[in-house]
Amino acid sequence: MAEVYTPPLANPSPGGLYSVAALIDITGTSRLAEDVQVETWNCGPSWVLPIHCEDDFPDPSPMGAEPRNNWLDNVFEGDVVGADDDCSALVSEPEAGQRAQQLLRLQEPVNVEKQLVPRLLAMAGTPTSVTGLVVAVGALEESVAEFGFTGVIHAAPHLAAALQNAQLITRSGQYLLSPSGHRWAFGSGYAGLNETLVATGPVTVQRDAPVLTHGPDYTHNQRLSTVQRDVLVLWECWTKAVTIGA
C-alpha cells in the first residue's frame, strides 16, 4: 500500500478582496442575516459660497439643496460560506474538522468574491466603455475623485499583469495601489468581471465565527464534517464601472 504524504498547509492567495478590506470578526450573537445598511460620514453634500458680502450670492442657495446622502437606501446582504470534509468514520473528528477549516480558510475569500461580482455590476449600472487600460483607469479614477478620498478598484486577475506592465500598479506595504492611490483587488473570484473595472468606496467584510459540525453516516461508516460562517461585504459612497474596449 502506498505511503500517505500530507503536504504543509497552504496560505490564501494575496492581492484579493480580503487583502484590501477592513475585516471585522464578530464575537457573540451575529445579526448578519438581517442585512446591513451603511450610515457613512464620508460622503454627502458640500458647497462653496463667496466670502465677500458684496459678491453675488447664489440663488438658490447651495446650502441644503441636496439630500444628506442616499447611501442608506442600499441594503447589503450576506452569504453563508462553508467547506466540508467527507471522509471515513475512522478519521478522527479533530482531523476531519481541521481539514474542513483549512478548506474554508483558502476558499472563503474566493467564494465571497464570486458572489460579489453580480452585486458590484448591478450597483454600478451600465459601465462606460473606453479604449485601453490607461484610459480606463484614468476615467475610473476621475469619476470618483470628487469624493476626496480613495477606495478600492476591483478587477479580474488576468488584468494584473497588463496593468503592471502599463505601470498602473505600485506597491505600498501590503497594498497594490493605482496611480491615484486606490487599492487594487485582483480577486481570484473576480474572473466574472471580465474586462470591467469596478471602483467602490472603502470595503468592510464582516464575518461571524465559523461553526463546525460533524454528521455521521453509520450505515456506510462515513462522516461529513462541515464548517460554515456568515459573511457580509459592504462599502460606502460610490460604485462606478468602466469596461475596457478594443
Strand 22-25 to strand 128-131: parallel, antiparallel, or no bridges (unpaired)? unpaired
Backbone angles phi, psi at 181, to 5 degrees: 100, 10
CA gap 240, 182 in Å, rounded:
13
Whether the Cβ atoms of residue 185 and residue 16 lie closer than 8 Å to each other: yes
pTM attached to this predicted model: 0.92
Tell me how far apart the terminal alpha carbons of the chain are, to the nearest angstrom: 56
Percentage of residues in the chain with pLDDT exceeding 90?
69
Return the biggest CA–CA distance within the chain: 95
pLDDT in tens, 109-118: 999 999 999 9
pLDDT in tens, 154-165: 999 999 999 999
Cell numbers at residue 128, please? Answer: 462606460
Every domain of the chain and the residues it spans: 74-244
CA gap 175, 171 in Å, rounded:
6
Percentage of residues in the chain with pLDDT exceeding 70?
96
| Beta strand segments in the chain, E | 22-25, 36-37, 75-76, 79-88, 128-131, 152-155, 170-172, 175-177, 183-186, 196-200, 203-207, 211-217, 222-235, 239-245
The predicted pLDDT at position 218 comes to 66
Where helices occur in 86-130 by DSSP H, the ranges are: 93-124
Could you say which DSSP state residue 34 is in? G
Q: Which of 230, 228, 231 is nearest to 101 (CA)?
A: 228
The predicted pLDDT at position 187 comes to 92
Rg (CA), the chain: 23
- Which of residues 93 and 129 earns the better pLDDT score? 129
CA gap 86, 123 in Å, rounded:
38
Of 23-32, 71-80, 179-188, 216-225, least confident by mean pLDDT is 216-225
Cell numbers at residue 200, please? Answer: 467602490
- Summary mean pLDDT of the chain: 92
Cβ neighbours of residue 220 closer than 8 Å, sequence gap 6 or more: none
